[in-house]
Structure 1
Amino acid sequence: MPLEIVTVPCLSDNYAYLAHDVATGATAVVDVPEAAPILNALSARGWRASHILITHHHGDHIDGVPSLAAATGARVIGAAADAHRLPPLDEAVTAGDTVRIGMCRGTVIDVSGHTIGHIAYHFADSGIVFTGDSLMALGCGRLFEGTAHQMWDSLCKLAALPPETLVCSGHEYTQSNARFALTIEPGNAALAARAKSVDAARAKGRATVPSTLAEELATNPFLRARLAEVKTALGMQGAGDAEVFAEIRARKDRF
């Protein structure tokens, strides 16, 4: 059976995720901005956290890890390359390693760019990828540590997953991302429709994540840097894909 996913709002605009294996009762928490909302969500469902999966070292993704681990005894998993700046790890993983949540198996993907050592967790049988601040709904993370080429390579890895994959990302940035995306592709009908849907969801206080990879491929300008129509819109015909991505990222930084 696929993992059951619960999106947990934290802080002002962060999300954590519960990933529950119904067959065994094992429950992973992906990123822990703060412990209290996660403990409340677990308690409301009668679940206990068995694992904590960390995507990257930023405080708004790890500050609640010590409290949650102490309260639940959950096994803490994170990138070996980032172990020196993460809470103590019970398991340090690298790209290609397998993570098990009950009967469900996930694969670790290196998605450096936002930070060096950022990882994603892809649970192929459940059709889910936890991307943290790499691929986001209608966006991608700012390049705090990596290069544009690194981030583009990371996004290409994620873009190659099955289009029906559910993308579980770490923030509620989708409205502002949509406004920016429309400056790149104002004639993209799918993007315009999605922007309206996002506005309606936020007006009702609903989360706009997870999204599907198919939605991102159709509307996310950072995944669309390879397309001729995007290059033409930017006046960058003939430019390399990573160069076009870098220009889009630079424009978003100034937006």
Structure 2
Amino acid sequence: MTAEIRLFPCLTDNFGYLIHDPATKATASIDAPEAGPIIQALEREGWTLTDILITHHHGDHVGGVAELKQKYKCRVVAPHDKAAKIANVDLRAAQGDVIKVGGLLARVLETPGHTLDHVSYVFDSEKALFAADTLFSIGCGRVFEGTYPMMWDSLLKLRVLPDDFKLYCGHEYTASNIKFALTVEPDNAALKARAEEVTRLRSENKPTIPTLLGDEKKANVFLRADEPSVAASVRMKGQSAADVFGELRERKNKS
């Protein structure tokens, strides 16, 4: 029996996620932006929280950990980088580690850049990538603690995953990401199709997530920094992909 995944809003624009193993009844929350919506989702499904898998230390991803830990006595898994202070941690996870959630297996990828401690969780059997604030639909996270080459390397780690994997990211930023991406690739057919889809979804008050990684590879300009046409569009023909990525991110910061 395959895993069940539930998505719901938290805070102002965060996503909350639960992934549930029907065979063992184990349930993990990917991050914990705030406790209330997570508890409501668990009660709605009749599930009990067994694990919290934390991607990075920012408050809008760990704000609900203490309350959930107290209520459910769940295991808290966090990045191995202890320089980032995260409370209530039971297990530290590093590149290549595999975290068990009941019978489900989450492979850990270190994806620093947004923060130095950022990790992503890959459930290969479920074809699910939880990338938090490293990769968004048609976007990527701001580079607060790392460097642009570091963030580009992290995006490449995610880009090599199969096209049929679903991306579950940390925030509902897709519409604003598309607005920027169209300034770089106005003639990208995949991007224009995604723009139409997102306009429809948002008009119906539906989330734009999950999205297929294969679609992101065609439409997400931040995954396309090594495309000559993208470099040319930002007047960086012949420059390294990491430098082109840095220019894209700088432009997005100012948009």
Letter in 2 for 1:42: L
Q: Deviation string for 1:28-67 (max 9, x for gaps)? A: 0001110001100000010011100000000000011100
**Alpha-carbon distance in structure 2 between the residues aligned to 1:65 and 1:209:** 23
Alignment match, 2:159: 159
Give the share of equivalent positions with the same residue, in percent: 45
- CA-CA distance at 1:152 after TM superposition: 0.2
Name the SS of the counterpart of 2:171 in structure 1: coil
Name the SS of the counterpart of 2:162 in structure 1: coil
Runs (4+) of structure 1 moved beyond 2 Å?
none
Name the SS of the counterpart of 2:144 in structure 1: coil
Name the SS of the counterpart of 1:252 in structure 2: helix
Letter in 2 for 1:17: Y
Contact preservation (8 Å) 2:65, 2:88 = no
Alignment match, 1:196: 196
Name the SS of the counterpart of 2:221 in structure 1: coil
TM-score by length of 1: 0.98
Name the SS of the counterpart of 1:190 in structure 2: helix
Contact preservation (8 Å) 2:108, 2:119 = yes
The CA RMSD measured in Å over matched residues stands at 1.0
Contact preservation (8 Å) 1:3, 1:20 = yes
**Alpha-carbon distance in structure 2 between the residues aligned to 1:205 and 1:121:** 27
- CA-CA distance at 1:82 after TM superposition: 3.8
Contact preservation (8 Å) 1:8, 1:17 = yes
- CA-CA distance at 1:84 after TM superposition: 4.4
Alignment match, 1:2: 2
Alignment match, 1:119: 119
Contact preservation (8 Å) 1:163, 1:212 = yes
- CA-CA distance at 1:2 after TM superposition: 3.0
Contact preservation (8 Å) 2:69, 2:88 = no
Alignment match, 1:175: 175
Alignment match, 1:184: 184
Contact preservation (8 Å) 2:57, 2:84 = no
Alignment match, 2:55: 55
**Alpha-carbon distance in structure 2 between the residues aligned to 1:147 and 1:24:** 41
- CA-CA distance at 1:248 after TM superposition: 0.4
Letter in 1 for 2:136: M
Name the SS of the counterpart of 2:131 in structure 1: strand
Contact preservation (8 Å) 2:109, 2:121 = yes
Q: Deviation string for 1:204-234 (max 9, x for gaps)? A: 1101111111111011110010111111222
Q: Deviation string for 1:49-107 (max 9, x for gaps)? A: 11000000000000111001111111000011046411221111111111011111111
Superposition pairs for residues 84-163 of structure 1, below 5 Å?
84-163=84-163
**Alpha-carbon distance in structure 2 between the residues aligned to 1:202 and 1:84:** 35
Contact preservation (8 Å) 1:165, 1:212 = yes
* Structure 1 unaligned blocks of 5 or more: none
Contact preservation (8 Å) 2:185, 2:230 = yes
* Structure 2 unaligned blocks of 5 or more: none
TM-score by length of 2: 0.98
Alignment match, 1:228: 228
Letter in 1 for 2:101: I
Name the SS of the counterpart of 2:38 in structure 1: helix
Letter in 2 for 1:234: V
**Alpha-carbon distance in structure 2 between the residues aligned to 1:3 and 1:176:** 31
Letter in 2 for 1:119: V
- CA-CA distance at 1:4 after TM superposition: 1.2
Contact preservation (8 Å) 1:2, 1:104 = no
Letter in 1 for 2:25: G
Alignment match, 2:44: 44
**Alpha-carbon distance in structure 1 between the residues aligned to 2:223 and 2:137:** 11
Q: Deviation string for 1:165-191 (max 9, x for gaps)? A: 111100011100010010010000110
Name the SS of the counterpart of 1:126 in structure 2: coil
**Alpha-carbon distance in structure 2 between the residues aligned to 1:71 and 1:138:** 36
Alignment match, 2:78: 78
